[in-house]
Amino acid sequence: MKVLLFLAALPLAAQYDVVISGGRVMDPASGLNAVRHVGIRGGKIAAVSSTPLQGKVVLKAQGRVVAPGFIDLHAHGQTNEANEYQAHDGVTTALELEVGVPHVAEYLKARSGNSILNFGATAGHGAARAMAMRDVALPQAGAGNGVETMGYVNLTRYKELKEAEEFTKLAAGLERGMREGALGVGMAHQYYPGASREEIFKVFQMAARWKMPIFAHVRSMSVDAMQEVIADAAATGASLHIVHVNSMSLAALPLVLELIDAAHKRGMDITTEAYPYTAASTLLESTMFDEGWQQRLGIGYGELQWVKTGERLTKETFEKYRKETGQVIMHFMKAEWIDRAMASPFVMVASDGMPFAPGAHPRSAGTFSRVLGYYVRERKALGLMDAIAKMTIMPARRLEAIAPAMKNKGRIQVGADADITVFDAATVKDMATFESGLKFSAGIDHVVVNGVPVVQDGATVQGARPGKAVTGNFGSR
């Protein structure tokens, strides 16, 4: 009897669904940087303990870093083919915020219950303006993601919105997107130069009214284009996130970073991001390659690489492939510009990963490992905790005011979503290259999304689809 009473008094070792054992937890939000055991139950972090824990599944992490799962604000890869490469790069949440999607509800429905990673999108200004135009034959419903938005854009890129009725329809279309769960407005007006300064200003007024952020690919690679959106944000009070500041600033990067920092210090809600590569990528048929592109970009045919074949272009192949349409890589940035962006304390890391294609820009598969391996370990351009912050808590905080789910992401804390990435700081490395195309990164051991491993011991967990929608709260205010 006494023995039974004694046993009953013993605390039963709580059983967790998953335990990540013995790794060095690095949590930028709290500053925790120590060996801990992480217990997961019901998709949430239930324990961060200095004593070992029991779990149905145990992911070994001795000698590894246990970080919040990486949040990519700029991911055009919105399929499971693309998600698998992103997962092997430590990403747990991949969002289409730059160009956005045409129909938010359909996009969310299409991915719900069938996504490896958490997902979400803005309402695409480029598509909404096309849908607001009179006498435009709209394209057939397509993939429902950013690729489809570019379909609308390519049809109307030089067209200007004129009529008041068109602006009313534009506002109604974007507002419907906000109600359906959009994470703000995706604006990429370099791809639709028909959008006047008045139109852009009006969209900023709308976003300010809705208290929803704008994610902007600015009008051109220039300081002027940066000043347009900063002025519109200042005048309207809209929140602004400037995408890929590296490729839109080029040699003017130091000045642009100073502009953004000064605007922020004056109280503006303004943020920015960069990807760690000296080449950009886009569609060869886009306006980027309209007449005069060599002068604007400061490059020639040889700096262009055709994704389908990997070949560098000539005048002949440029003209041929531009008719064919497709992805092209542009080698035109200097290494010191990227160093500067990576070292800047307020520039987040975001991939601008392309829709899945075997030869796509390596940023689609290696962005986060490249920062941790090449920029932190090899070039010492920034510290490990700072780098982790730029890909976890900073993007989470960028969105949490309008997307409640993000309050529980980007953190290794009890109660947070169990989105966790375990990697080896000594060997983590991007393996995807411009020459050989997409490859899984090295040194990423385990990736857990909402408590479910999607990468375990470096291998894909086949069939795991724990990704959930991240939606804006406009409709539920």
Pick one of 125, 189, 217, 398: the residue that binds Zn ion (CB under 5 A).
217
Total interface residues for Zn ion by CB under 5 A: 1
Neighbours of 442 (CB within 10 A): 17
Interaction between residue 74 and Zn ion (CB under 5 A): no
Residues numbered 381 to 440 that lie near Zn ion (CB under 5 A) are: none
Take residue 145 and report the two structure tokens written for it: 């993601």
Min dist. Cβ of residue 256 to Zn ion (A): 15
SS3 195: coil
User: How many Å apart are CA 297 and CA 336, to the nearest integer?
Assistant: 17
Stretch that binds Zn ion, among 171-179, 213-221, 234-242, 263-271 (CB under 5 A): 213-221
Long-range contacts of 224-227 (CB under 8 A, 24+ apart): 225/190, 226/256, 226/259, 226/260, 227/259
Min dist. Cβ of residue 233 to Zn ion (A): 18
Residues numbered 298 to 337 that lie near Zn ion (CB under 5 A) are: none
From the list 476, 435, 477, 475, the residue with the least C-alpha distance to 176 is 475
Min dist. Cβ of residue 105 to Zn ion (A): 24
Min dist. Cβ of residue 246 to Zn ion (A): 11
* Beta-ladder partners of 115: 466
Stretch that binds Zn ion, among 3-11, 122-130, 216-224, 284-292 (CB under 5 A): 216-224
The interface mask with Zn ion, positions 22-51, x = CB under 5 A, is ------------------------------
Stretch that binds Zn ion, among 41-49, 211-219, 288-296, 391-399 (CB under 5 A): 211-219
The interface mask with Zn ion, positions 158-197, x = CB under 5 A, is ----------------------------------------
Interaction between residue 76 and Zn ion (CB under 5 A): no
Shortest Cβ contact with Zn ion: which residue? 217
Pick 247 or 421: Cβ nearer Zn ion: 247
From the list 476, 454, 456, the residue with the least C-alpha distance to 466 is 454
Min dist. Cβ of residue 74 to Zn ion (A): 8
Q: Tell me how far CA of residue 68 lies from CA of 58, 139, 394, 422, in angstroms.
A: 17, 40, 11, 9
Interaction between residue 446 and Zn ion (CB under 5 A): no
Min dist. Cβ of residue 421 to Zn ion (A): 25
Stretch that binds Zn ion, among 32-40, 50-58, 215-223, 381-389 (CB under 5 A): 215-223
Stretch that binds Zn ion, among 59-67, 134-142, 212-220, 381-389 (CB under 5 A): 212-220
Take residue 7 and report the two structure tokens written for it: 């046993």
Min dist. Cβ of residue 285 to Zn ion (A): 15
Beta strands 32-41; 44-49: pairing state: antiparallel
Take residue 475 and report the two structure tokens written for it: 């409709």
From the list 222, 220, 231, 215, the residue with the least C-alpha distance to 272 is 215
3-state secondary structure 398-456: HHCCCCHHHHHCCCCCCCCECCEEEECCCCCECCCECCCECCCCECEEEEEECCEEEEE
Residues that bind Zn ion (CB under 5 A): 217
